[in-house]
Amino acid sequence: MPWLAIPFSDLETKKALSRKFDIEGIPCLVVLQPNDHKDIATLHDGVELIYRYGIQAFPFTKERLDKLHEEERQKHENQTLTNLLTNHDRDYLLGHPRTEQVPVASLIGKTVGLYFSAQWCIPCVKFAPKLASIYHKIKQTPIEKGDDFEEDFEIVFVSNDRDQEAFDSYFDTMPWLALPFGDPAVKELAKHFDVRDIPCLVILGPDGKTVTKQGRNLINLYKENAYPFTEARVELLEKQMDEEAKSLPRTVVHPGHRHELTLVSEGNGGGPFICCGCDEQGSGWAYQCLECGYEVHPKCVITSANPASTGNKDG
């Protein structure tokens, strides 16, 4: 590190600072302003600011941060598919074979998924085949436009692979398009959409604006029915799921867990979770172990293997 440090042996000072600034986890960067005579921290989220804005966050004043927030808001408000996916040197995406150049302009007017992923990432490798299956099903359901029918969906692979060979190998397993490996747009998109974890599927609407950053979760919950991923579509699917939940057993026994599982929703003890059955994201309804927090999607509960799932229905 190029900066100063409190001596390792000075436990008293370290504990005092942790108490003073209410430090609950690390890394944490507390920023003190030079004119802060009372020695009160003006910012606790220095790590977040460095991640989002880099050196531009300095000197971390309210005025500077307000300006950055406004610039970020305007950038999202004015985003288009063209300014997201092209630059001065490139106006195309890679197709199959990789030498094929597909104009970004050909995607304008479509719903587009930006798939942030990498071959070294185990959850990515698990999710990719599922996404490919859903992709084909959506593509096989053309959308009526006037007197014509057009397929209206595309995915663009935004690679976080570590080298060209890994990128080539991974992209060859995908049926969609990709940004070239190492393209400057890769880092810019990750920063623009604040992508912290992969796999991540960001959905853009036909106008190029962000529809949702929860594409992966929606695919896991609703499969191809999630398309076109709009708020209205998700609201409809949630209502359908609520209706279907009325016929689900209140308790089940799951082969992967020793305790009885109880049906919960976000309104009565549930919430976002990672399914212990398929290792994918979940939200809304779930079967949860009230003793230890084990949770699975209702669809991951094998009812035929649940002798307890035939009873305890409400209504």
- DSSP string of 40-88? --SBS-HHHHHHHHGGGGTT--HHHHHHHHHHHHHHHHT--HHHHH-BT
Q: 171 near 157, Cβ under 8 Å?
A: yes
Kind plus residue range of the DSSP H or E element containing 150: strand 148-150
Q: Is 144 left (phi over 0), alpha (psi -120 to 50) or beta?
A: beta
pLDDT tens, 62-101? Answer: 888 888 888 888 888 889 999 999 999 899 999 998 889 9
φ/ψ of residue 115, rounded to 5: -100, 100
Has residue 251 got a pLDDT over 70?
Answer: yes
Instruction: Give how far the C-alpha of residue 208 lies from the chain's centroid of Cα atoms, to the nearest Å.
Output: 18
> CA of 52: how far to CAs of 65, 68, 76, 81, 194, in Å?
11, 10, 14, 22, 7
Instruction: Give the whole-angstrom CA distance, residue 85 versus residue 189.
Output: 8
Q: Which residues contact 184 (CB under 8 A, 6 or more apart)?
A: 87
Domain boundaries, the chain: 11-77, 81-236, 248-310
Segment 15-21 shows an average pLDDT of 89
Segment 181-200 shows an average pLDDT of 93
- Which CATH number is associated with domain 81-236? 3.40.30.10
Q: What's the predicted TM-score (pTM) here?
A: 0.75
φ/ψ of residue 276, rounded to 5: -75, -5
Instruction: Give the whole-angstrom CA distance, residue 139 versus residue 130.
Output: 14
pLDDT-derived band at 150 (thresholds 50, 70, 90) equals low
Has residue 162 got a pLDDT over 90?
Answer: yes
Kind plus residue range of the DSSP H or E element containing 192: helix 184-192
Q: Which of 64-73, 183-192, 254-263, 305-314 has the highest mean pLDDT?
A: 183-192
pLDDT-derived band at 211 (thresholds 50, 70, 90) equals very high
Collapsed DSSP state (helix, strand, coil) of residue 128: helix
Instruction: Give the whole-angstrom CA distance, residue 97 versus residue 223.
Output: 27
Q: 298 near 285, Cβ under 8 Å?
A: yes
pLDDT tens, 231-250? Answer: 999 999 888 888 888 888 88
Residue 262: the pLDDT is 86
> CA of 111: how far to CAs of 65, 104, 156, 255, in Å?
33, 13, 11, 39
Has residue 144 got a pLDDT over 70?
Answer: no
Percent residues over pLDDT 90 in the chain: 47
Has residue 281 got a pLDDT over 80?
Answer: no
